[in-house]
A = this chain, B = another copy of it.
Amino acid sequence: MLSPAVETLIALALEEDLGRGDVTSEAIFDAQAKVSGQIVAKEPLTVAGLAIAAEVFKRVDEATRFAARVDDGQRMGKGEIVAVVEGRTRALLSAERTALNFLQRLSGVATLTRRFVDAVAGTGARIVDTRKTTPGWRALDKEAVRAGGGANHRVDLAAGVLIKDNHVAACGGVKAAVERARAHAPHSLRVEVEVTELLQIDEALAAGADIILLDNFDPAQVKRAVEQIGDRAIVEVSGGITLETVRAFAEAGPDLISVGALTHSARAVDLSLEM
C-alpha cells in the first residue's frame, strides 16, 4: 500500500508536468506506437524509489510494463541497468521525467546515507535521519534512508518526545520539562532531552530522560558524555556532522548519530532512460 500522502504526492507530480498533456509527444508519435527502454545508473549509486517510479509509469499508462532488475538498497555501478520499461512511446516519454525525478532524488538520499553508514562500519553506532526532510516527502525520504542502511528517528512530532533547548528555555529548566513530558505524553514514547553541555546531563537523567541527545559536542566531549551516562540512557549525537568527521564521532561510543544532511542536502544522482 502506498499511503494516501504518497499517492497525493505522485498525483501532484504528474499533474504539474503532464496534467495538460505532452504537446511534443502527442504531436510527434502515433497513439499506438511502442518502444522499450532501460533505466541506467550513470554513476555509482545506491538505488531507492523503485516502487514510486513504477507507479508513475503505471499511472500514465496502465499498459506500461516496468520490471525492476534490483531491489531498493542495491549498490549499482556506472552503466548498470536498474529497470526495464516497455510500452507506448507517448506514455514512456511523458512519464520519463517525473519517474526519474523521483528516482534520482531518492537514490541520492540512499547513496549519501550509504556513505555515512559505511563510514561508521564496525563502531556500533547507527546513522539516523532527522525531520529535516523535503516537505511532502517525509515517508519517502525516510524509506530512502533505510534503503541506504540508515535507521529512522521519529517519523513525526507525535512519535517521540524530544525536548530541545527552546523547550527547556520556555519551560524553565530541564527538570520541569522532563517531568511534564513524563506526566502528559503517551506512555508509549521515550523521553529524549537535548543537552549542549556536560553539566546538563545529570539533571536530565535525574529527571527521567530515556535518551540524551548531545548537540554540537566534539568527539572528545561525546566520549566523556558516553562514559558519564553509562547504561542509564541511550546516547545520540547531532550537529553538523559530515562524512569527514562522522567516524570520529562514532568511535566515541554513542548509540546513534543523526544527520540532517541525509535528507536536506543530498544531491540527485544521475540515472537516465535509454531507449
Q: Which residues of A contact B (CB under 8 A)?
A: 1, 3-5, 8-29, 33, 35, 59-61, 89, 91, 93-94, 96-98, 100-102, 104-105, 108, 128, 131-139, 151-163, 166-167, 169-171, 177, 180-181, 183-190, 192, 210-211, 234, 236, 255-256, 261, 264-265, 267-268, 273, 275
**In whole Å, how far is A208's beta carbon from the nearest beta carbon of chain B?**
12
* Chain B residue with Cβ nearest A138: B16
Contacts of A28 in B (CB 8 A): 163, 167, 170-171, 177, 180-181, 184
Q: Which 6 A-B pairs have the closest CB atoms?
A: A160-B188, A13-B135, A265-B267, A20-B158, A27-B184, A22-B157
* Chain B residue with Cβ nearest A96: B166
Residue of B25, B135, B166, B256 near A101 (CB, 8 A) is: B135
On whether A211 and B184 interact (CB within 8 A), knowing A102-B135, A157-B17, the answer reads no
Residue of B17, B24, B162 near A161 (CB, 8 A) is: B24
On whether A97 and B12 interact (CB within 8 A), knowing A27-B161, A190-B188, the answer reads no
On whether A101 and B5 interact (CB within 8 A), knowing A23-B157, A161-B23, A184-B26, the answer reads no
**In whole Å, how far is A79's beta carbon from the nearest beta carbon of chain B?**
17
A-B contact pairs, 19 of them (CB 8 A): A3-B19, A4-B14, A9-B135, A13-B138, A16-B139, A17-B131, A19-B158, A21-B139, A21-B158, A22-B157, A27-B180, A28-B170, A93-B166, A101-B135, A102-B135, A105-B134, A105-B135, A161-B188, A162-B188
Q: How far is the CA of A98 from the CA of B135 in the complex (A)?
A: 7
Q: How far is the CA of A211 from the CA of B189 in the complex (A)?
A: 11
Cross-chain contact B16 with A5 (CB below 8 angstroms): yes
Q: How far is the CA of A265 from the CA of B265 in the complex (A)?
A: 8
Cross-chain contact A135 with B10 (CB below 8 angstroms): yes
Q: How far is the CA of A151 from the CA of B136 in the complex (A)?
A: 25
Residue of B138, B167, B170, B189 near A189 (CB, 8 A) is: B189
Supply 4 further A-B pairs (C-beta < 8 A) apart from A152-B186, A187-B190.
A3-B20, A23-B185, A28-B170, A33-B170
On whether A5 and B1 interact (CB within 8 A), knowing A162-B188, A187-B190, A189-B159, the answer reads no
* Chain B residue with Cβ nearest A58: B1
Cross-chain contact A268 with B132 (CB below 8 angstroms): yes
| Most B-side CB within 10 Å, residue of A152, A157, A171 | A157
Residue of B9, B169, B180, B210 near A12 (CB, 8 A) is: B9
On whether A158 and B16 interact (CB within 8 A), knowing A131-B97, A152-B186, A255-B187, the answer reads no
